[in-house]
Amino acid sequence: MAIISVNNLQKAYGANIVLKGIDFEAYAGEVIGVIGKNGAGKSTFLETLMTIKGYDAGSVVLFNYDLKNITANQLEKVRKNISVVLQPTQFYKTLKVGELLKLFKSYYQSPVDIENIIEDFKLEPYRKKYFDKLSGGWKQIVSLAIAFLSEPKLLILDEPTTGLDPHMRNLIWSYIKNYNERTEGTVILTTHNMDEVEMYCDKVMLINNGVNEVFNTTSDLLTSGYKTINEFYLKNVEI
Ligand SMILES: Nc1ncnc2c1ncn2[C@@H]1O[C@H](COP(=O)(O)OP(=O)(O)OP(=O)(O)O)[C@@H](O)[C@H]1O
């Protein structure tokens, strides 16, 4: 059974029609990369799944609840299953990294041991530093560490590895894959890095001209004549 089912999703900002009919499904345990050029509508789509952005037409069903007819209680239930990392991570100005992790552990009532998270994400040197003073990459890492604290059924990540050096990218992907295999959690993310899609994603959705022009498994795309996902992208998306 699909945990997400989206049909003919449409969304405009004023006269700018961004999503013109997206069809999408996600099942437990899948890692899905959402790709497309700058301004294609990837973040808009993800924010709809995060239940933080409204839409104009179509249907979005999350964990069997249709967002159009959902009660406040049901929405709270749905949100409990979702953890998100947004692109701008300029929150939490006055808290230190260790304090932030404790705060979210208690907020999520998480069984995860903070010391393990600190070790896994190499955060020991930053435990006593203010979040606000960290570099962009380390802010990203701390935001991801927080997202994993809730052990969500669905993790939605907007460009999780942008701005990270190769070791940190590798570390984040190891953690995502480990979480995915260990808990059968579903991961949906946007990225402009096609190598990552090829290496780590089970499926790819290409948003182009407001629709999901392609929604297929990575392996099908690679056996259909494209040598790499990068080649697939370059051949299917105009500048
Ligand atoms: N809150 C908003 N109000 C008005 N227009 C918006 C808003 N958010 C996004 N847009 C517009 O919607 C379009 C899609 O933006 P979106 O951020 O979803 O694209 P994206 O594919 O995530 O882009 P990128 O790869 O550059 O991050 C763009 O034209 C953008 O300017």
Boundaries of every domain in the chain: 4-81+152-236
pLDDT at 159: 92
Cβ neighbourhood burial of 126 (10 Å; 0-12, 13-18, 19+) = buried
Task: Tell me the CA–centroid distance for residue 157 and ligand 1, in Å.
Answer: 16
> Average model confidence (pLDDT) for the chain?
92
Q: If you average pLDDT over residues 19-43, what whole number do you get?
A: 97
- The distance from CA 185 to its chain's CA centroid, rounded to whole angstroms, is 12
The reply to whether ipTM tops 0.95 is yes
Q: What percent of the chain has pLDDT over 70?
A: 97
Task: Tell me the CA–centroid distance for residue 105 and ligand 1, in Å.
Answer: 32
CA 141, CA 135: separation in Å to the nearest integer? 10
Does residue 105 line the site of ligand 1, with CB under 6 A?
no
Summarised one tens digit per residue, pLDDT across range 116-165 is 999 999 999 999 999 989 988 888 889 889 988 888 999 999 999 998 89
| pTM listed for this prediction | 0.92
Strands 203-208 and 211-217: antiparallel
Does residue 44 line the site of ligand 1, with CB under 6 A?
yes
Residue nearest to atom 6 of ligand 1 (CA): 13
Does residue 18 line the site of ligand 1, with CB under 6 A?
yes
Does residue 206 line the site of ligand 1, with CB under 6 A?
no
pLDDT at 107: 78
Summarised one tens digit per residue, pLDDT across range 161-172 is 998 899 989 989
Q: Can you give the three-state secondary structure of 157-183, one letter per residue?
A: EECCCCCCCHHHHHHHHHHHHHHHHHH
Does residue 210 line the site of ligand 1, with CB under 6 A?
no
Give the pLDDT band (50/70/90) at residue 104.
confident
- Calculate the alpha carbon distances from 53 to 63, 145, 170, 223 in Å: 17, 24, 31, 36
Contacts of 106 (CB under 8 A, 6+ apart): none
Q: If you average pLDDT over residues 2-22, what whole number do you get?
A: 97
CA 155, CA 189: separation in Å to the nearest integer? 8
Q: If you average pLDDT over residues 175-203, what whole number do you get?
A: 95
pLDDT at 115: 95
Could you name the CATH architecture of 4-81+152-236?
3-Layer(aba) Sandwich (3.40)
Does residue 11 line the site of ligand 1, with CB under 6 A?
no
